[in-house]
Structure 1
Amino acid sequence: MRIRRYRCDHCGHRWREDTTTAAPERSKLSRGGIRWALKALVIDHLSIARVAAGPGVAWHTANDAVLAEGKRLLIDDPSRFDGVKVIGVDEHVWRHTRRGDKYITVIIDLTPARDRTGPARLLDMVEGRSKAVFKAWLEARPEQWKTGIEVVAMDGFAGFKTAASEALPGAVAVMDPFHVVRLAGDGLDDCRRRIQQELHKRQGREDDPLYKTRRTLHTGINLLTEHQCERLGALFAHEKHAAVEATWEVYQTMVAAYRHRDRAAGEALMSSVITSLTSGVPDLLSELGKLGRTLNHRAADVLAFFDRLGTSNGPTEAICESGSG
């Protein structure tokens, strides 16, 4: 920033403009410029290069200023932990280079989202993705704050689960529906690709029935068009596609459980799926066997969602995704 300098024509005294309220000492950006840069990065999703081009400063100057302002507003604000009862935790790929840890652990306050009093809030971001990283962050919080946490929403990463159970023994772990359904969806895709390879000895092509229905298989039953229903009917009429049909039925049942208006009925439906996949799954349905082992291991966390309705890690995913723009 430019600073005006003055000189008295009568006495020769020199002084310069007082900028202490406009900019930090020795700063190249004013406080207003720094706030603009932070909003441009977070809200408008501009890159640091674009942000730096606005005030005409170097990339490192803009980056350092944005990080310092974000730390001042977020990390250095002790009141951000007030009233937190529900937290969400997720990992995010922060760095796409070989140098340094590419993951960060993101912790979100989901209390406003659950109570429908406002949007979820970012609490902190910690470099790394492990049980030790999350547990260290939790243990650094005051004891009174930790005892007030009721629910921890998370994905299927066992490290987060273990850290939460050790540092927050009074909190309920909830495995988020997004990740549970994604596990089933990944199993469905793996099954479809396996059958494709077994039948045709190659990856799917545009005219292959299994490849043509790859998106339709993930569409909820109540959202299927008449044409899509006919396409699925033709696909499942082929006996060699039986494994895909069985995996698809499990996927659709799990989606229906989460969409059920009666949460008790939804919980019962999900519980029946977990029970059916726990034992007796044929070897030919290897993807369902793998899904069953995961669901059985985390059954309490999966079913806890129905008792803690409204506790979802969706806002955490949204904040992580917006940060990658």
Structure 2
Amino acid sequence: MFHVTFGVPNLTTFCRLDEPGLVAVSQRLRPDRAVLECRVTDADDECRSCGGLGRRLGTDSRTLAHEPFGGRPTTLQVRVRRYRCTLCGRFWSQDTSAAAEPRAKVSRGGLAWALRALVIDHLSVARIAAGLGVAWNTANDAVLTEGHRRLINDPARFDGVAVLGVDEHVWRHTRFGDKYVTVIIDLTPVRDKTGPARLLDMVPSRSKQVFKTWLAERPPPWADEIEVVAMDGFTGFKTATTEELPQAVAVMDPFHVVRLAGEALDQCRRRTQQQLHGHRGRADDPLYTSRRTLHTGAGLLTDHQWVRIERLFDTDEHVEIEATWAIYQRMITAYRDTDRAAARQDLAALIESLRTVVPTALVELRRLGRTLNTRAHDILAYFDRPGTSNGPTEAINGRLEHLRGSALGFRNLSNYIARALLEAGGFRPLLHAQL
């Protein structure tokens, strides 16, 4: 029985052709695609010069890739009428700008689908090209152009930024050419707990001058609103921040601070291994088999791991490793302390002790102490700024690694930057609102 809420099937409405002012008049199903013949609903027979009535001269055909329906690419065959003015003799054709840009090969509906597939569904350009039934270059050029127009070139995307994260990123693994870029992240949503971090920009190369130039290009009112800049241990980012954002607080990320201590522990273990055995660690060497256990936080060690640690430190030959391991564990404990004031005090005392009371033989700890003392203000600033961490920056770096893997690598940096901004620029809410 026919249901009262159902209507007569309407191909124009189903394929959303009424929005760009088209009407479907016929269809042809091919093995590889569906072809819809369409006409422009607006007669557009009035002369744009004198207002006279146009005389029909025939039709032209315009082919547009549209969003896929029914699991196959959909192509629009648009019949466009041609006119000649009966008064001034001017020629023109029906306006199809609502359906597609002039000389475009993809309809506006197809572009909207492709942009949604790229930004929201994280499809590769190859999958998008297959869905539209066009060449890869056609799909890539169309999607990036539309992405710039709707999202990337929107000046409002820089509004409301108060916390920045900066880090380096390897965009390609080759022996020739610069493989590094500097990524700038908006960490304000993470601090305010309103959403995830988002990629603000990506600039070629990595140096103090690169980040300093990017900051100098920002409008002064925008730069004045920056409160915190989270970073790793690279001093170039610190110097650029001090020179261009004197009001901002530089925060060295806990991950990189702990990694410095972990590297000191590894260097001490390798040096001891060479001094005692005269070769690198092997599968049956206690120092080698304990390398991962040494990097595990004391609160997470199992009984078996504790036994391994106690056996390792049961000999005086490993006393330097034990001392370095103790410093590493104290640093982890300080960052895991829920009492931020007490944790700040403990870490400050640890940095001071590394600067003053470390024996000469512990060269790794002395080197670590000099580094931490130089950046002590940035390290301790973390405890005064809850929620400020470069961890979300590392997470976005991971998303970009996945993007590069899905695309099987990139050769063009401009293309990569645009794809990275669309992938991690936080455009999903904006795109939902537009579409």
Report the TM-score when normalising by structure 2.
0.68
Q: Which residue of 1 aligns with 2:318?
A: 241
Shift, 1:165, TM fit: 0.7
Read off the aligned partner of 2:240 and give its amino acid letter.
Answer: A
Shift, 1:98, TM fit: 3.7
2:291 is paired with a residue whose SS is coil
Q: Which residue of 2 aligns with 1:305?
A: 382
Read off the aligned partner of 1:283 and give its amino acid letter.
Answer: T
Give the alignment partner of residue 109 of structure 1, picking from 186, 198, 205: 186
Cα deviations by residue, 1:63-97 (Å, 9 ceiling, x for unpaired): 44454344334431111111111111111001222
1:324 is paired with a residue whose SS is helix
Read off the aligned partner of 2:335 and give its amino acid letter.
Answer: Y
Q: Which residue of 2 aligns with 1:15?
A: 60
CA contact (8 A) 1:40 1:51 kept: yes
Q: Which residue of 2 aligns with 1:189?
A: 266
Tell which structure's C-alpha radius of gyration is larger. 2
CA contact (8 A) 1:42 1:323 kept: no
Cα deviations by residue, 1:182-239 (Å, 9 ceiling, x for unpaired): 1111111122122222222222222211111111111111111111111100011121
Query: Taking structure 1 as reference, are residues 59 and 224 closer, same or farther at Cα in structure 2, changes over 3 Å only?
Result: same
Q: Which residue of 1 aligns with 2:65?
A: none
Query: Taking structure 1 as reference, are residues 57 and 233 closer, same or farther at Cα in structure 2, changes over 3 Å only?
Result: farther
1: CA distance between counterparts of 2:274 and 2:200?
46
2:181 is paired with a residue whose SS is strand
CA contact (8 A) 1:86 1:150 kept: yes
2: CA distance between counterparts of 1:148 and 1:161?
18
Cα deviations by residue, 1:99-140 (Å, 9 ceiling, x for unpaired): 432111111111110111111111111111111111111111
Give the alignment partner of residue 339 of structure 2, picking from 244, 255, 262: 262
1:96 is paired with a residue whose SS is coil
Query: Taking structure 1 as reference, are residues 55 and 288 closer, same or farther at Cα in structure 2, changes over 3 Å only?
Result: farther
Read off the aligned partner of 1:15 and give its amino acid letter.
Answer: D
CA contact (8 A) 1:188 1:287 kept: yes
Read off the aligned partner of 2:220 and give its amino acid letter.
Answer: E
Alignment of structure 1 residues 308-323 onto 2, 5 Å: 308-323=385-400
Between the two structures, name the one with larger relative contact order (CA 8 Å, sep ≥ 6).
1
Give the alignment partner of residue 253 of structure 1, picking from 319, 324, 330: 330
Query: Taking structure 1 as reference, are residues 115 and 227 closer, same or farther at Cα in structure 2, changes over 3 Å only?
Result: same
Matched, 1:97 2:174: yes
Percent identity for Structure 1 against Structure 2:
64
Higher strand share: 2
1: CA distance between counterparts of 2:330 and 2:214?
37
Shift, 1:286, TM fit: 1.6
Alignment of structure 1 residues 1-325 onto 2, 5 Å: 13-16=58-61, 17=78, 20-21=97-98, 23-31=100-108, 52=129, 55=132, 57-325=134-402
1: CA distance between counterparts of 2:298 and 2:395?
26
1: CA distance between counterparts of 2:378 and 2:384?
10
2: CA distance between counterparts of 1:121 and 1:213?
38
Q: Which runs of 5+ in 1 are unaligned?
A: none
Shift, 1:170, TM fit: 0.4
Shift, 1:26, TM fit: 3.7
Higher helix share: 1
1: CA distance between counterparts of 2:193 and 2:305?
36
CA contact (8 A) 1:105 1:128 kept: yes
Shift, 1:283, TM fit: 3.2
Query: Taking structure 1 as reference, are residues 124 and 245 closer, same or farther at Cα in structure 2, changes over 3 Å only?
Result: same
Read off the aligned partner of 1:145 and give its amino acid letter.
Answer: W
1:215 is paired with a residue whose SS is helix
CA contact (8 A) 1:37 1:51 kept: yes
Query: Taking structure 1 as reference, are residues 56 and 306 closer, same or farther at Cα in structure 2, changes over 3 Å only?
Result: same
Query: Taking structure 1 as reference, are residues 5 and 53 closer, same or farther at Cα in structure 2, changes over 3 Å only?
Result: closer
Query: Taking structure 1 as reference, are residues 323 and 14 closer, same or farther at Cα in structure 2, changes over 3 Å only?
Result: same
1: CA distance between counterparts of 2:139 and 2:224?
40
2: CA distance between counterparts of 1:214 and 1:39?
46
Read off the aligned partner of 1:267 and give its amino acid letter.
Answer: R
2: CA distance between counterparts of 1:97 and 1:36?
34
Shift, 1:25, TM fit: 3.9
2: CA distance between counterparts of 1:233 and 1:196?
18
Greater shift after overlay, 310-319 or 13-22? 13-22
Read off the aligned partner of 2:272 and give its amino acid letter.
Answer: I
1: CA distance between counterparts of 2:252 and 2:154?
29
1:146 is paired with a residue whose SS is helix
1: CA distance between counterparts of 2:308 and 2:282?
16
1:14 is paired with a residue whose SS is strand
Query: Taking structure 1 as reference, are residues 312 and 59 closer, same or farther at Cα in structure 2, changes over 3 Å only?
Result: same
CA contact (8 A) 1:74 1:123 kept: no
Q: Which runs of 5+ in 2 are unaligned?
A: 1-32, 40-55, 62-77, 79-94, 403-435
CA contact (8 A) 1:153 1:173 kept: yes
Q: What is the aligned residue count? A: 321
Read off the aligned partner of 1:13 and give its amino acid letter.
Answer: G
Query: Taking structure 1 as reference, are residues 177 and 65 closer, same or farther at Cα in structure 2, changes over 3 Å only?
Result: farther
Cα deviations by residue, 1:151-186 (Å, 9 ceiling, x for unpaired): 000111111111111110000000011111111111
Greater shift after overlay, 282-291 or 21-30? 21-30
Report the TM-score when normalising by structure 1.
0.89
1: CA distance between counterparts of 2:114 and 2:261?
41
